[in-house]
Each structure stands twice: as C-alpha cells, then as structure tokens.
C-alpha cells in the first residue's frame, strides 16, 4: 500500500503549535535534499524558497527556522494574548499561547529576519524574549518609557557589567554581533536583537529603567 511520508493538516485557528509545525530533514531521506525543512501550510512560514507538495499538504523550504518565545512578566494572560508577530514584508501571525492561563506564546520564525511584536491591549512593561535554535532575529515593539534590557540578569546598558551591548543607533544594532538593543525615544520604539553565538538559546528581558 502506498502512503505519504508526510501529511501536515492545515493549522486550526488559535492552535499555535499547528501553525508553527516545521521539521528539518537533515539527511534528505524525506524530501530528497539534505537540509530542507518540511513546513506547514502557513503563509507566515513561507518564502520564495518553498515548494508545495500537494500529497503532503506541506511545503519543502530552503530556509532556516528558529523558535521565538514572547512572554510577559506581569499581569493576567490577557496582557499578552492575542499576540501578533509581523514580518518586515507585512505577513502576520496571531498567537494565543498554549492555554488560557499562559502568559507567553511561541512561534516558528525565519532566522536572520526582522519582526514586529504587538500585544493585546498595549505593550506590557515587563517582557521576555527567547530565541531557540537560530542565529539571530531583530524585533521591534512599542515601548513608551526608557527600558532596561538585561541578558541573564546583566544590564546591557551598564558599561561596568560583562554583557555591555546597548547600540547607539539602529544601524549599529543591525551590525551587532552579539545581543543588543536600541531605544528610539522620539518614536517610543524599542528594537531588540537576539543573537545566538555558539549556543542554541538566547534570552533578553525588558522592564522600565526606573521603578
């Protein structure tokens, strides 16, 4: 009996895991080409390097993906959900988190890309961003007060701390080889760059610079 090697159902609305389904074919035994990803039929995860396999209801993509986790350190779950991620080309993804009481949400994303983050009801004052299995992503989020951005508890803006890395401009942030941030106080916009250097996990936390 013939059977498909892969079949990925279309994502169910509100089910973040369905919408983020990707897997790497390391040796080419599934797709025929080593290093290709098999990706759910979700426009947010597709680009020009993807080919649709009708029998699989899935795409084979020449791309790199990471997992992005966005969470809030305070408030009710409604402070974060629904959460919207937007690619630089305008394609969006709406996330609900794993369950009613969750205060974080996860999505597969292209690594080495820029994304916007928007929260239900406005940006929480405390946030946490985690990049897993990816080289870097740059994020932007509205933030109306001067932020304090920390990496594993280390203040990126403190020149006496080990993780010094606040950028002086958006161009400097784009060029940064390590995790950093830039705050545009005129626009109330915070830009974060999470860079994974030699590990597959990186995190940044944000809170107001003054209590």
- d(CA 207, CA 125) in angstroms, rounded, equals 6
Task: Please report which confidence band the pLDDT of residue 211 belongs to, taking 50, 70 and 90 as the band edges.
Answer: low
Compute the distance between CA of residue 60 and CA of residue 52 in angstroms, rounded to an integer: 6
Task: Count Cβ atoms within 10 A of the Cβ of residue 69 and give its class: 0-12 exposed, 13-18 middle, 19 or more buried.
Answer: middle
Q: How large is the average pLDDT for residues 20-37?
A: 95
For the chain, how many residues are written?
211
Spatial separation of the C-alpha atoms in residues 59 and 108, rounded to whole Å: 14
pLDDT at 160: 79
pTM (2 d.p.) = 0.92
Q: Is the pLDDT of residue 3 over 70?
A: no
- The mean pLDDT value for 2-7 works out to 73
The number of CA neighbours under 13 Å toward the Cβ of 195 is 13
122-170 pLDDT, tens digit per residue, is 888 999 999 998 999 999 999 999 999 999 999 999 887 788 789 999 9
Residue-wise pLDDT tens digits, 64-114: 999 999 988 776 666 677 889 999 999 999 998 887 778 889 999 999 999
- Say if residue 203's pLDDT is above 70: yes
pLDDT band for 1, please (50, 70, 90 cuts).
very low
**Rounded CA separation 43/69 (Å):** 19
3-state helix, strand, coil in the chain (%, to 5): 10, 40, 50
pLDDT tier at 171, thresholds 50, 70, 90: very high
Q: Euclidean distance between the first and final Cα of the chain, in Å? A: 66
DSSP result, 74-94: SS-GGGT-SEEEEETTS-EEE
Among the listed residues 61, 38, 159, the one whose alpha carbon sits nearest the alpha carbon of residue 168: 159
User: Residue 73: what pLDDT?
Assistant: 73
Interatomic CA distance for residues 87 and 114, integer angstroms: 6
Cα gap 24→67, rounded to integer Å: 13
In the chain, the domains with their CATH numbers are 16-61 (no CATH), 65-208 (2.60.40)
- In tens, the pLDDT along 104-125 reads 899 999 999 999 999 887 888 9
Count other C-beta atoms under 10 Å from residue 2's C-beta.
4
Half-sphere exposure (Cβ direction) of 94: Cα atoms closer than 13 Å: 7
């Amino acid at each position: 009996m013939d059977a498909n090697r892969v079949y990925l159902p279309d994502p169910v609305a509100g089910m973040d895991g369905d919408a983020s389904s990707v897997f790497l074919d390391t040796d080419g035994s599934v797709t025929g080409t080593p290093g290709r990803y098999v990706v759910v039929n979700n426009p947010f995860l597709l680009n020009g390097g993807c080919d649709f396999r009708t029998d699989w209801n899935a795409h084979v993509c020449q791309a790199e993906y990471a997992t992005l986790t966005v969470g809030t350190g305070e408030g009710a779950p409604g402070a974060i959900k629904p959460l919207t991620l937007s690619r630089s080309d305008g394609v969006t993804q709406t996330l609900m988190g794993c369950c009613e009481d969750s205060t974080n949400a996860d999505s597969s994303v292209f690594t080495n890309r820029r994304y916007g983050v928007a929260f239900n009801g406005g940006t929480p004052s405390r946030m946490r961003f985690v990049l897993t299995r990816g080289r870097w992503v740059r994020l932007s989020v509205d933030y109306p007060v001067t932020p304090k951005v920390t990496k594993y508890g280390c203040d990126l803006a403190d020149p006496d701390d080990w993780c010094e890395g606040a950028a002086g401009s958006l161009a400097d942030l784009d060029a940064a080889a390590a995790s950093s941030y830039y705050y545009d106080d005129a626009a109330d916009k915070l830009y974060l760059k999470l860079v994974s250097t030699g590990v597959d996990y990186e995190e940044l936390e944000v809170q107001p610079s003054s209590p």
